[in-house]
Amino acid sequence: MLPAVLVLLPAIVLALHWRHDGITLELGTLVVVCGMALAYLGAKLIRALGRRIEPILFSRWGGMPSVQILRHRDTTFTAPQKLNFHAKLAAKAHCVMPNAAQETLDTRFADEQYLKASNWLRTNTRDPARFPTIAAESTEYGFFRNAYAVRWIGVAVAGGSLLCLLTPRAFHVQPTSLHAFIQTLAAMSSGERWIVAFDLLWAIIWFVIFRDRIVQSAAWRYARALVEASDSI
């Protein structure tokens, strides 16, 4: 639900500002209830969008991280470590782990076996009490993936909040230049200027923090924890 809250945060800040300026208790309650409902619904939709964008990310990265990390040509683990993981997963997940030469000759078959092994690992490591590291890494990856999927929506909400503050004043000062824009800001209260600064900063944060590279890093940590769990299942 956190990505949904982050998306709605500029609207929440704006609503709190309007409440401070005289919104009634009844309307304030309605805003809070509607906000909670939107956050819940938004969380479901954002998760769906995150899952939808996942295949695109995997294709861009060269494959699912938990598949990549099992390939012989990947260097995340040493060769002896990887052979150990392969042996245990072949026995437990009932898959055929190819050697390096077989992997090179038939990469599609190799990736199918690695996918079968990683799916088996996901199915058998869902207990957060027994596998707290995997649970934490999975949650972190899901958060960054989902936030990345809706970064444009986050920017749009921040921009909408900004327009709600600037548009009424634009009819008076008609800001068509930087000087006119500064005049518009000068006509605002200090609270409104802080909200303008927050909206601009929040829009920038969506692209500075929620980037492809951040999602990939979180996905790789989750994949590593997942494969390492083959020693303890």
Tens of pLDDT, residue by residue over 7-23, are 766 776 666 665 555 55
State the Cα–Cα distance between residues 51 and 185, nearest whole angstrom.
41
pLDDT under 50 in the chain at which residues? 170-171, 173, 175
Largest Cα span, the chain: 74
State the Cα–Cα distance between residues 190 and 185, nearest whole angstrom.
9
The label of the residue with tokens 């190819």 reads 98
pTM exceeds 0.95, yes or no: no
Helix boundaries (H) for the chain: 2-20, 25-61, 65-68, 79-92, 100-105, 107-123, 132-149, 151-173, 178-186, 190-208, 212-228
Who contacts 29 (Cβ-Cβ below 8 Å, separation ≥6)?
Answer: none
pLDDT digits (tens, 9 = 90+) for 29-73: 666 677 677 767 777 888 898 999 999 999 999 999 999 999 999
